[in-house]
Amino acid sequence: MIFKVYYQEDNIRNPKRETTKSLFLEADTEVDARTLIEENTDHNVEFIEPLEGKFLEYEQNESGYKLTEFNS
């Protein structure tokens, strides 16, 4: 499943909507997606949204869509 992860780049500052970024990640579950982020980045995860159907199709058609992969 593809997940859209909303995050802040670090845990130092309070989250602000204006500085929220996102990435797309493939994982089996939301828990697995969160674990991948925590093990491979210093990001402060705000929200993880599962994408499927028309929502996934919409994101895939946007110019900023890129699936993030981490080297294990």
Query: pLDDT by residue (tens digit) across 1-37?
Result: 999 999 999 888 777 888 899 999 999 999 999 999 9
Query: pLDDT by residue (tens digit) across 36-55?
Result: 999 999 999 999 999 999 99
Are 58 and 27 in contact by the 8 Å Cβ rule? The answer is no
CA distance 39 to 46: 16
Quick one: pLDDT band at residue 71, thresholds 50, 70, 90?
confident
Q: Which domains does the chain have, with CATH numbers?
A: 2-68 (3.10.20.730)
How does strand 44-51 pair with strand 67-68? unpaired
Are 4 and 45 in contact by the 8 Å Cβ rule? The answer is no
CA distance 46 to 53: 23
